[in-house]
Amino acid sequence: MDGIINVYKEKEYTSFDVVAILRGITHIKKIGHTGTLDPMAEGVLPVCIGRATRLCDIMPDSDKAYKCKMVFGKKYDTLDIYGKLLDTKDVTLTEEAIRNTMMGFIGSYEQVPPMYSAIKVDGKKLYDLARQGMVVERKARLVHIFNIEILNIDVNKENLSAEFIVNCSKGTYIRSLCDDIGSKLGTYGAMESLVRVRACGFDIDNALKISDIEKKARENDLQSIIMSMDKPFMEYKALYIHKDVRSLADNGNKLETSWVDGFDGANESEMFRLYMGDEFYGLYSYTGNMLKPYRFLKIK
């Protein structure tokens, strides 16, 4: 089996747990996930099976979206409510102030990654250092917030909070965004809950929990929930390889543009999906007047 399962990762599972469980369910060793989710986060976790694991690291990630609830006036070492409470502030905020501040984060900004993250500094993961009680300097990284949709703001002093959906770039830490929003308002901000609602072209409405996948396995119907390997790459134009150059294509060679159907010109480095009939050969880049394999999927 080759393809992608849109998994709904539940709370307290790590992304690695999901992969390990799916290996047991499917009896397939070659499985990998895209876009790690923290254990207390939940939602969309695309899992690649078989040859699709070759695509894990190049899945498009410009459409990531998260539903988040944050609370104000509380500071935690992890920047979410699952860490150690460090301080509180008695604060009064208006809905207008919260709304205007949150919307002001749309665009690019320099974000400092949290200490509790897997980023490495001098070869050591930050969360390992944080667990030793250490705090080290982290370089700010440019991230992009494409949109923020505010779902609810509660200005009740006992439950000062905001719930929103954020579309963001790869490498954006929502915990840090909550902390930054709080700081901008002159208080603290901490993430209370996080659900990834979209990633790599997969939506939460179609995501399957582990129990759903186990049921499909018992019914010998796993194939019905495994999506095609090309699904995340539909933004790229499809080209079709001529059958008389199959041997060249099967070996992952560069291809002349005259050897494919559907090519009508391209910019340098433009990406394409290539097929032989309905067999997805992978992603190819237009380079030097040739179609060069960018991520070639070895044919069975």
Tens-digit pLDDT profile for residues 191-244: 999 999 999 889 999 999 999 999 999 999 999 999 999 999 999 999 999 999
CB contact at 8 A, 180 and 172: no
- Please report the pLDDT score of residue 37 as a whole number: 85
Cβ neighbour number for residue 225 with a 10 Å cutoff: 18
Instruction: Judge whether 291 and 273 are in contact, CB under 8 Å.
Output: no
> What is the reported pLDDT for 133?
66
Averaged over 252-274, what is the pLDDT?
94
The pLDDT of residue 126 is 61
Which domains are seen in the chain, by residue range?
Answer: 3-59+200-225 (3.30.2350.10), 64-196 (3.30.2350.10), 236-296 (2.30.130.10)
Q: For the chain, what's the residue count?
A: 300
The reported pLDDT for the residue numbered 123 is 65
- What residue type is 283 in one-letter code? L
56: its two tokens: 């894990």
The residue written with tokens 């391209």 in the block is 266
pLDDT > 70: percent of the chain: 91
Q: Distance (Å, rounded) from C-alpha 41 to C-alpha 70? A: 13
What is the number of other CB atoms lying within 10 angstroms of the CB of residue 267? 6
Q: Is the pLDDT of residue 57 over 70?
A: yes
Is the pLDDT confidence value at 276 over 90?
yes
The whole-number pLDDT of residue 132 equals 61
Structure confidence at residue 159 (pLDDT): 86
Q: Residue 287 — φ and ψ, nearest 5°?
A: -135, 125
Judged against a pLDDT cut of 80, whether residue 131 lies above it is answered with no
pLDDT band at 300 (very low <50, low <70, confident <90, very high): low
List, in order, residues 6 or more apart from 128 with CB less than 8 Å away: none
pLDDT given for residue 139 in this prediction: 80
State pTM to two decimals.
0.88
Three-state SS at 169: coil
What whole-number percentage of the chain has pLDDT above 90? Answer: 73
DSSP state of 12: T
Mean pLDDT of 127-154: 81
Calculate the CA dihedral of residues 58, 139, 112, 174 and round it to 10 degrees. Answer: 10
**Is residue 254 predicted with pLDDT exceeding 80?**
yes
Closest listed residue to residue 95, CA positions, set 161, 148, 159? 161
What is the model's pLDDT at position 20? 94
Concatenated DSSP letters of 47-95: EEEGGGGGGGGG---TTEEEEEEEEESEEETTSBTTS-EEEE------H
Quote the radius of gyration of the chain (alpha carbons, Å).
22
Section 166-185 average pLDDT: 93
- Averaged pLDDT, 173-189: 95
Mean pLDDT of the chain: 90
Q: Beta 124-125 vs 3-9: how paired, if at all?
A: unpaired
Q: Which of 38, 80, 179, 180 is catalytic?
A: 38
Say whether 38 is catalytic. yes
Comparison of pLDDT for 124 and 179, the residue scoring more: 179
What average pLDDT score do residues 172-195 get? 95
Q: What is the mean pLDDT of residues 156-183?
A: 92
Confidence of residue 129 (pLDDT cuts 50, 70, 90): low
Long-range contacts of 145-154 (CB under 8 A, 24+ apart): 145/105, 145/106, 145/107, 145/108, 145/109, 145/169, 145/172, 145/177, 146/62, 146/106, 147/106, 148/102, 148/103, 148/105, 148/106, 150/99, 150/102, 150/103, 151/67, 153/95, 153/98, 153/99
